[in-house]
Amino acid sequence: MAKILVTGGLGFIGSHTVVELQDEGFEVVIIDDLSNSSIDTLERITSITGVQPVFEQIDLKEKNKVIDFFNRHNDVKGVIHFAASKAVGESVEQPLKYYENNINTLVYVLQELQKLETSNFIFSSSCTVYGQADELPITENAPVKMAESPYGNTKQIGEEIIQDSCRVNENFNAIALRYFNPIGAHETANIGELPIGVPQNLVPFITQTAIGIREQLSVFGDDYPTSDGTCIRDYIHVVDLAKAHVVALQRLIGRNNKENYETFNIGTGKGSTVLEVIKSFEKVSGEKLNYKIAERRAGDIIAAYADTSKANNELGWKAELTLDDAMASAWKWEQNIRKVSS
C-alpha cells in the first residue's frame, strides 16, 4: 500500500481526493495549515472511508518543518500538492501573500523530493495559465499567456519550476493537472466546499445566499460577449476532479507516463455562463436566488472551457457528473453543514 502525501488535504479538492485515494487502497498522509480549512474535515473523511488518514498541521512556508517531515516520511511514493492560496480577486489585492505562499512552499517540497531515489508529483495547476485563450475549447497546446492575476501567475511559475526540476532529474516524474472550475460536494454531504469568511467562488456564494447567510449574490458583469452577457466557465464536479488526480498518480507510479513532465486539462469540455449556473441551482433546489448585476471584477476573463480529449485518451479519465448533479450536491452539503453547526 503506497504512502501518498496530500498537501492541503483538508481543503475542498484535497479532502475529496483523499477519499478517492483511500477508496483505491492508498495510505494517505495529510499536511494542512488549517488557514482555509477545518480540522473537522478529518473526521468527515474518516466517516466516509472508515479509515482515518495521518494528519500533520504544518505551515509549508516553514522550511525546517518540511525537511523534518520528509526525514520522518522518506517512504512517500507520491505527492499531490494542493496547498496554496487560490482566490483570483484576493491575489490581485494581496500579490505578495500569493507569491510567498504558492511559490516558496512548492520549492521547499520539491527540494525534499529531489533527495529521494524516485519521486512522483501531481501539481494542482489551473486553466488560468491560458489567460483568455485565442481558441475555444482550450487544448494543452494553447499558449501560456501573461497571467491575468497574481494567482494565475503563481500557477504558471509553479509549472515552470516543476518542468525545470524534471529536466535535471530523470527520476523525478510530474504531472500538472490544469483544471477548470471545481464545484459540488461528495454524495454523502459529509465533505464539500466550506470557505472561511466571505466566499471567493461562485457556487458557495450561491448556496450561502440561498440559505440566508448572504443577503445577495453579485454577478460581476453582464456585458461580456457571451450568450447572456455573463462569463463562461467549465464547471467540473469535484468528485470527477478528485478521481483524475488518482488516475494521474497511478500513471506515474506504474511508469506509464510518456515523459517525466506532462500536462492535462481536467474539465467537462462544456462552458456554462454564470446565469446558467444560477438557473441550474434554482431548478435542482427549488429556491429562488436573490442576485444582482454588478460591475466587472478585475482579473476575470470572458470565457474558458476545456478540450479534454488528451485526458480522456491518455489517462482513460472522463468527467461523468453534470452541472445539475454538482449544484444538487452543493446544496445538500450547504444544508447539512448549517444543520450541524446551528
Digit-coded pLDDT (tens) for 29-39: 999 999 989 99
Query: Is the residue at 188 inside a domain?
Result: no
Supply φ then ψ for residue 265, to 5 degrees.
Answer: -80, 135
* Residue where a domain stops, chosen among 266, 285, 312: 266
- pLDDT score, position 206: 98
pLDDT tens digits, 252-263: 999 999 999 999
Among candidates 138, 125, 144, which has minimal Cα distance to 86? 125
Residue 191 lies in a domain: no
**250, pLDDT greater than 60:** yes
Task: For residue 119, list its beta bridge partners.
Answer: 172
Query: Per the domain annotation, does 197 fall within a domain?
Result: no
Confidence (pLDDT) at 342: 44
Mean pLDDT of 236-240: 98
Banded pLDDT at 87 (limits 50, 70, 90): confident
On whether both 280 and 146 belong to a single domain, the answer is no
Task: Taking residues 248-272, report their average pLDDT.
Answer: 98
Q: Are 101 and 61 in contact (CB under 8 A)?
A: yes
Whether residue 108 sits in one domain with residue 28: yes
pLDDT at 147: 86
Per-residue pLDDT band at 341 (split at 50, 70, 90): low
Please identify, among 249, 266, 283, the residue that sits at the C-terminal boundary of a domain. 266
Please tell me the predicted confidence (pLDDT) of residue 71.
Answer: 97
- Looking at the domain assignment, is residue 189 inside a domain? no
In this structure, the answer to whether residues 168 and 283 fall within a common structural domain is no
> Do residue 177 and residue 314 come from a single domain?
no
Q: What's the Cα-to-Cα distance from 76 to each of 1, 80, 160, 244, 302, rounded to whole Å?
A: 11, 11, 23, 20, 41
Question: Where residue 334 falls among pLDDT bands split at 50, 70, 90?
Answer: very high
- Look up residue 101 and give its DSSP letter: I
CA distance 27 to 275: 41
Would the pLDDT of 86 be above 70? yes
Residue 143 lies inside a defined structural domain of this protein: yes
pLDDT at site 195: 85
Are 31 and 131 part of one and the same domain? yes
167 and 288 inside one domain: no
Which strands make up the sheet holding 272-273, listed edge to edge? Answer: 272-273, 232-233, 303-304
Please check the confidence at residue 199 and state whether its pLDDT lies above 80. Answer: yes
Residues 6+ apart with CB under 8 A from 138: 127, 130, 265, 304, 305, 306, 307
Q: Are 30 and 85 in the same domain? A: yes
The answer to the question of residue 139 being in a domain is: yes
Task: Judge whether 130 counts as a catalytic residue.
Answer: no
- Stated pTM of the model: 0.96
Cβ–Cβ under 8 Å, residues 304 and 232? yes
- Structural domain that includes position 124: 3-182+237-266
Q: How much is the pLDDT for 148?
A: 81
Q: Do residues 125 and 175 share a domain? A: yes
Better-scored residue on pLDDT, 201 or 175: 175
| Grid coordinates given for 129 | 495559465
Segment 331-336 shows an average pLDDT of: 97
Task: With beta carbons less than 8 A apart as the criterion, state whether 302 and 225 touch.
Answer: yes
- Angle among Cα 87, 91, 95 to the nearest 5 degrees reads 155
Q: What is the CATH number of the domain that holds 229?
A: 3.90.25.10
Angle subtended at Cα 322 by Cα 154 and Cα 293, rounded to the nearest 5 degrees: 65
For residue 300, the model assigns a pLDDT of: 84
Q: What is the pLDDT of residues 49-60, one digit of tens each?
A: 999 999 999 999
Same domain (yes/no): 273, 310: yes
> Considering the domain boundaries, does residue 38 fall inside one?
yes
Grid look-up 429562488 returns 288
Say yes or no to pLDDT of 197 above 90: no
At 125 the pLDDT is: 97
Cell numbers for 199: 466566499
Q: Is residue 194 part of a domain?
A: no
State how many domains the chain has.
Answer: 2
d(CA 248, CA 49): 21
- Shared-domain flag, residues 169 and 39: yes
pLDDT one-digit tens code per residue, 283-324: 999 999 999 999 998 778 899 999 999 999 999 999 999 999
Query: Cα–Cα distance between 210 and 1 in angstroms, integer?
Result: 43
Model pLDDT, residue 340: 57
248 and 307 together in one domain:
no
| Beta-carbon-side half-sphere exposure of residue 69 (alpha carbons within 13 Å) | 28
The proportion of the chain whose per-residue pLDDT surpasses 70, expressed as a percent, equals 99
Choice among 130, 151, 224, 305 that is catalytic: 151
Instruction: Write down which residue in 222, 245, 266 finishes a domain.
Output: 266
Average confidence score pLDDT of the chain: 95
Q: Are residues 257 and 312 in the same domain?
A: no
CATH code for the domain in which residue 112 is found: 3.40.50.720
Taking 90 as the threshold, does the pLDDT of residue 247 lie above it? yes
Q: Which residues on adjacent β-strands are paired with residue 121?
A: 79, 174
- Closest C-alpha among 8, 10, 25 to residue 250: 25
% of the chain exceeding 90 in pLDDT: 89
